[in-house]
Amino acid sequence: MPRFKTTGEAINIVTNREQVRNFGIIAHVDHGKTTTSDSLLAAAGMLSPSVAGEALAMDYMELEQKRQMTIKAANVTLYYEYEGKPYVFNMIDTPGHIDFTGKVTRSLRAIDGAVVVVDAVEGVMTQTETVLRQALDERVRPVLYINKIDRLVKELRLTPDKMQAWLSNIIAEVNQLITIYAEPEFRDKFKVNIADDSVAFGSSKDKWGFTLSMAKRVNGGFKDIYDAYTGGNIADMSSKFPLHEAVLSMVVKHHPPPHVAQRYRIPKIWKGDQNSEIYKAIINCDENGPVVMMVTTVVVDPQAGIVAVGRLFSGTIRDGDMLYLINSKRQERVQSVNMFMGPFREMVGSLPAGNIPALLGLEHAMAGETLSAIKDTYPFEGIKYVSEPVVTIAVEPKNPRDLPKLVEALQNMHIEDPNLVVRINEETGETLMSGMGVLHLEIATTMIKDQGLDIVTSQPLINYRETITGAAGPVMSKSPNRHNKVFIRVEPLQKDVVDLILSGQINDNMDKKQIGKILREHGWDADEAKSVITVDERGNLFIDQTKGVQFLQESIDSLRAGFVDAMINGPLSYEFVRGLKVVLHHFVPHEDPAHRTYAQLMPAARRAVLGAMLLANPTLLEPVLAVEVKGTSDIIGPVASIFSSKRGKLIDMQQKEIFAIMQGEIPASETFDLAEIIRGATAGKAVWNTSFKNWSPVPSSLLQPLINSIRKRKGLPEGVPRPEEFIDQD
């Protein structure tokens, strides 16, 4: 078995970057990402001698189970010899669920190629499109693997000829997406086709797959498939057409090695100065250049502690290196450089550019962090990916003594999945866990329970956002001592700018000139664009439009604090505020510093913002989830009526032979019992999933009762305050 390698042999291969490929598998939910990766690992997982003994004695997958490991490893290395030459593949985990979108984009940055897995019956689906679009955005080269071909025979009863026609449609659909989303210079290069082996067909469940070359070699093809599933020998298929050969030969042939990929990908994915030494080093994948690495995943290992995994774009990383963590502005020492051998980590002492090191000892590494030997390296990703969790539950250990363990488990989960936000309610002492949907929190709850912790969870609570639908002001508020006046006006912030903030493309750590430049590109006039006081990560901007006001510079921090406080606790119900442009219109401070302390100016700014908001038609936004339900056609009626009973919308329905796929949206607040209701209405025949879609205004008929109930739950005085309570008259 050639895939058993000593660490030394493995290093020999990976230091020759021609023989390295970094790829990921992207797929819509249920299209077979997990089965495909499992099958590749079982057949081609690179093994080191330390596990080889055990692995020889039993099936590899059994070993996995025995060790209680899930195949959710951040990276798995595969080994495969193509045309007599050995190759090492880093198969990097790319989460498929859109609920965790932040993670998808991040891991796409580490890979140069993607295997797009599509279900043969369902074809291209929403998440296929979303993730493929993101991949093309990052100049990640796709190849196509059409999975579950057996369904075409077993369920749709297609003949070999019809099968071919059916599959051509899917290929055409994928190429159409590539035409739409790829940049012109990559459009043709990135298209997939059967003739050049950039398309494979197979069944991951039955462990077989082939490309055109493989089929030709044995003079086989669709006829073999048809025969195998109409009474023939299925096991034969996997020896004739091993799945890993189909997939990995596509990867070798069509995915570029790291140094080739970086030449055209870096200009797109790294926004720093193109005249710098760093740029030269990373575009050339220079192993003698400075160390520059992007962390894509952080895993908390019970023994090793924090393990930071990512793509090394330049330099050679060694045990003991001191590296800057660019976003968190620290310097830390790499205790040990590891590489993956299959799903296991092995110490290797050093690794050159183009590889996927796993680093131990970086206590403050978070996913998305840029590591560099050079202090002020421009980061691969902004300071933070802003997650906007939409549902919250309280988590409590059954045994109070387990609380420290629970808190630790939750903190580790947050490090691994920053979309899972944990905080302690300071007033009630409750431990609150927030996530991107009920499903997301259910998974997290199960993970905690799997660690042997007995916990009780509360009913989920929806997180809302406050926003305005009109403009108001300038309004004036005085400081508590009545000696200072702050004039504020507010208006809705344009959507594309909100998106820039939430995606971290403009953030408070950026140079104000740079923010101004981006805002001008989005249609702002120069004067306003250069006057940003602060970027609020919840999706709001604070702008200075005062003219020649005294003492502004020394007062600005206090005014900013008042603005931020209003963005955290909105006037309607103390929810976060989103989508506001808040303008400091004028400022009349007291001339004596003793009269314009923080304690005076902060509340004045806060009140002025709240007062202006209340005059600008404030409303609440609720999270809306995209819901997809799949099943046989008889579910259509019952599911359609579920959508309408849940304040939802059925947006699209496709029927493929006897199958129906329904896409719609339902407000998150209506989804708590969705599982039971769908199960009940479809006799358990439907498969469904949800993902966060957008923030949408709460219907006006529900607004007032909702505000009242949130205020009541939070112990706030009854009734929304009147604007006059915050606004003063001259």
Partner 1 sequence: MADGSALGKVDGSSPYAVLFSGGKDSNCAMVRASHKLGYPPSVLITIRPSDPDDLIYHHVNTEWTGLQAEAAGLPHIMEMEPDRAIQEAIDGYSIRTLVTGGIASRFQKRKFEEIAGSYGLRVFSPLWGLDQEAYMRSLVDDGILAMVVRASSLGLDRGWLGLKLDRDNIERLILLSRRYGFNPSLEGGEGETFVLDSPLYHRAIAVDSAEARWFGDRGVYLIRQAHLTDKPNAR
Residues that bind partner 1 (CB under 8 A): 478-483, 590-592, 594-600, 602-603, 607, 721, 725-726
Residues contacting 381, CB < 8 A, separation 6+? 106, 109, 294, 327, 368, 369, 370, 504
CB of 573 to partner 1, least distance (A): 17
Residue 156's Cβ-count burial label (10 Å; 0-12, 13-18, 19+) is middle
Contact 205, 151 (CB under 8 A): no
| CB of 235 or CB of 599, closer to partner 1 | 599
Three-class SS of residue 215? helix
- Cα separation, 442 vs 435, in Å, equals 10
* Residue showing tokens 């609380």: 403
Give me the least distance between CB of 328 and partner 1, in Å please.
27
Nearest CB to partner 1, comparing residues 539 and 618 = 618
CB of 522 to partner 1, least distance (A): 35
- Residues of the chain by 3-state class (helix, strand, coil), percent to 5: 40, 30, 35
As given in the structure block, the two tokens for residue 530 are 């250069």
Structure tokens at 277: 């030494």
Tell how strand 85-92 and strand 20-27 pair up: parallel
* Of 598 and 654, CB closest to partner 1: 598
Least separation in angstroms between residue 320's CB and partner 1 is 43
Q: With respect to partner 1, which residue has the nearer C-beta, 124 or 610?
A: 610
Burial class (CB in 10 A: 0-12, 13-18, 19+), 59: exposed
By beta-carbon proximity to partner 1, the closer residue of 676 and 730 is: 730
- Residue 45 phi, psi (nearest 5): -55, 130
| Smallest separation, CB 593 to partner 1 (Å) | 8
The residues facing 555 across adjacent strands are none
Q: Which residue has the tokens 């080191």?
A: 48
**Main-chain phi, psi angles of 238, to 5 degrees:** -75, -25
Cβ proximity to partner 1, 138 vs 565, nearer residue: 565
490 neighbors 613 (Cβ within 8 angstroms):
yes
Angle between helix 552-568 and helix 598-615 axes, rounded to 10 deg: 50
- Show the 3-state SS of 520-559: HHCCCCHHHHCCEEEEECCCEEEEECCCCCCCHHHHHHHH
Q: What is the 3-state secondary structure (H, E, C) of 103-142?
A: HHHHHHHHCCEEEEEEECCCECCHHHHHHHHHHHHCCCEE
Give 133 or 595: the residue with its C-beta nearer to partner 1. Answer: 595
**Tokens 């210079």 -> residue:** 185
d(CA 492, CA 471): 7
The minimum distance between CB 684 and partner 1, in angstroms, equals: 55
Nearer to partner 1, 107 or 484 (CB): 484
Shortest reach from residue 560's CB to partner 1, in Å = 14
Decide whether 195 or 594 has the Cβ nearer to partner 1: 594
Whole-number minimum distance, CB 728 to partner 1, in Å? 9
Shortest distance, CB of residue 729 to partner 1, whole angstroms?
11
Query: Measuring CA to CA, which residue among 345, 344, 378 is closest to residue 359?
Result: 345
- Per-residue HEC secondary structure of 135-178 comes to HHHCCCEEEEEEECCHHHHHCCCCCHHHHHHHHHHHHHHHHHHH
**Shortest approach of partner 1 to residue 609 CB, angstroms?**
13
Residue (146 or 476) nearer to partner 1, CB: 476
The nearest distance, CB 483 to partner 1, in angstroms, is 5
Identity of the residue, 602 or 660, whose beta carbon is nearer to partner 1 in the bound complex: 602
The helix/strand/coil state of 682 is helix
| Smallest distance, partner 1 to C-beta of residue 615, A | 16
Q: How long a stretch of residues is the chain?
A: 730
- Taking the least distance from each CB to partner 1, the nearer of 431 and 573 is 573
Nearer of residues 212 and 561 to partner 1, judged by Cβ: 561
Which residue's CB is nearer to partner 1, number 12 or number 597?
Answer: 597
Taking the complex as a whole, how short is the minimal distance between the CB of residue 589 and partner 1, in angstroms? Answer: 12
Residues 408-413: contacts with CB within 8 Å, 24+ apart?
409/448, 409/451, 409/453, 410/448, 412/300, 413/444, 413/447, 413/448
Q: How far is the CB of 485 from partner 1 (least distance, A)?
A: 10
**Smallest distance from partner 1 to CB 22, Å:** 51
If you ran DSSP here, which 8-state letter would residue 624 be given? Answer: E
Taking the complex as a whole, the smallest distance from the CB of residue 471 to partner 1 amounts, in Å, to: 24
C-alpha distance from residue 244 to each of 90, 220, 344 (Å)? 14, 18, 19
Which CB sits closer to partner 1, 545 or 597? 597
Distance CA 314, CA 306 (A): 22
Q: Which is nearer to partner 1, 398 or 482 (CB)?
A: 482
Q: For partner 1, which is the closer residue by CB, 511 or 592?
A: 592
CB of 581 to partner 1, least distance (A): 24
CA gap 79, 2 in Å, rounded? 8
Give the span between the Cα atoms of 626 and 129, in whole angstroms: 15
The set of residues, in sequence order, having a beta carbon less than 8 Å from that of 405 and lying 6+ positions away, is 397, 453
536-571 b/e with 16+ CB inside 10 Å = b? bbbbbbbbbeeeeeebeeebbebbbbbbbebbebbb
The answer to whether the CB of 125 falls within 8 A of the CB of 31 is yes
